[in-house]
Amino acid sequence: MVNLAADLEAFDERARAEAAARIESAGFTLEERGGADDRTLAWIDLTFGGTWSSEAFCGVNAIVRRGGEPVAFATYEARGLRFSWLRGVGAQPGVGIFGPIGVASELRGAGLGSALLTIALCGLRRRGYATALIPAVGDEGLIRYYTANAGARIVERFEPAAFDRRHRTVVLASGRGSNFVAVADAVREDRLPLELVGVVTNAARAGVVERARAAGVRDVLLEWNRDEEPRERYDERLRDAVSNLEPDLLLLLGWMHVLDARFVKAFPEMLNLHPAFLPLDAAHDVVGMPDGSSIPAFRGAHAVRDAIAAGSRWIGASVHRVTAETDRGPVLARVPLRLDVGEEEAQAYGRLRPIEHALVPRVILRWAYER
């Protein structure tokens, strides 16, 4: 992997005007703004796999549309990113961050990418940066592309630091455990830098118990009898049991018990999988979709069931950091899924689970890259 740098001296207002003219002469419209509208962010998730919208959300975006629909975007000056490869050249004064960038597959090769690259680099110069960092490029073809179109040069070489150590990880799950299996398989195949040290469940008949045993991972059963044990006492037992496993990371994969504030404070590195397409802005209770419609956020324990009951045309999967506010932590990745007409809950889950199985390992890898 390499970080590239591009000097911004040539990316002036004239270069921007020429790039914008190329886009508009081809019948597209160009918009440049801080963040992005919900529809564009959802389109990014649907088109590019779910991890880029959180970066676009915290940056400035050049968005290309055709007939009002987004077809390409480029992000620059994204704030608050924690990737380890941004801590060298990317942290120096006068250096602005470029990316991500994406073009709809049917329009690749039409020149939109190079025009958006120019507009984004001009935007960085306009904001006072002298150099653009184009981070984490691993493809030789892309290196040549950025060299040709931005005058970029290699300034740092690195191997992603995610595999320097194995992060002790505890899974909390209450159900079948199919997402646990997806994680365990990725660990076994050396695709994730984790050491699975325990699976905690609150349901004795949960399928995750047998799946944990089959994977050679310790299982811990902590049931709660509401008639005999106060909630505070159960939460204390849960906190102690997890603490004894000394985790670096907690994964909530179908965990059906709301964690109290003391638990959240004790384990700040905690990710939750939620079966809904959550807003990137935690304060919002509705979220825009790729077709321009809006749906409720569907937080809570029965998101898919609630979506079907409400007549929603969309569901989804999101992985977010856990905070004391249920399902309102910062979203790291999300993928929307359109519901079929007349689809029932079991059918919807059947189509959603493969999306979850792909999404969860991707987010864990992002989490590890941020260490």
Q: Could you tell me the pTM of the whole model? A: 0.94
Residues with Cβ within 8 Å of 187's Cβ and at least 6 positions away in sequence, in order, are: 194, 195, 196
Cβ(30)–Cβ(62) under 8 Å? yes
pLDDT tens for the 371 residues of the chain, in order: 999 999 999 999 999 999 999 999 999 999 999 999 999 999 999 999 999 999 999 999 999 999 999 999 999 999 999 999 999 999 999 999 999 999 999 999 999 999 999 999 999 999 999 999 999 999 999 999 999 999 999 999 988 766 678 999 999 999 999 999 999 999 999 999 999 999 999 999 999 999 999 999 999 999 999 889 999 999 999 999 999 999 999 999 999 999 999 999 999 999 999 999 999 999 999 999 999 999 999 999 999 999 999 999 999 999 999 999 999 999 999 999 999 999 999 999 999 999 999 999 999 999 999 98
Beta-ladder partners of 65: 29, 70
Q: Determine the Cα angle at 276 with ends 341 and 292, to 5°.
A: 65
With CA atoms as reference, report the closest residue to 61 among 85, 81, 37, 25. 37
Cβ contact 41:176 at 8 Å: no
Interacting residues of 96 by C-beta distance below 8 A, sequence separation 6+: 76, 77, 124, 127, 129, 131, 132, 133
Query: In the chain, where do the E strands start and end?
Result: 2-7, 29-34, 60-66, 69-76, 95-103, 131-137, 153-157, 167-172, 194-201, 219-221, 249-253, 270-274, 286-288, 294-296, 314-321, 331-338
Q: Which residue has the tokens 């906190």?
A: 239
Q: Domain residue spans in the chain?
A: 2-159, 162-369
Query: For the domain 2-159, what is the CATH code?
Result: 3.40.630.30
Give per-residue pLDDT as tens, 16-70. 999 999 999 999 999 999 999 999 999 999 999 999 999 999 999 999 999 999 9
Q: Has domain 162-369 been given CATH number 3.30.360.10?
A: no
Contact (Cβ atoms closer than 8 angstroms) between residue 58 and residue 52: no
Burial of 301-326, coded b for 16+ CB within 10 Å and e otherwise, reads: eebbbbbbeeebebbbbbbbbbbeee
What confidence score (pLDDT) does residue 165 get?
86
Contacts of 101 (CB under 8 A, 6+ apart): 73, 74, 75, 113, 116, 117, 120
Compute the distance between CA of residue 329 and CA of residue 171 in angstroms, rounded to an integer.
18
CA distances (Å), origin 242, targets 123, 165, 200: 47, 21, 8
pLDDT, tens digit, for every residue of 131-179?
Answer: 999 999 999 999 999 999 999 999 999 887 666 789 999 999 999 999 9
Tokens of 2: 């390499």
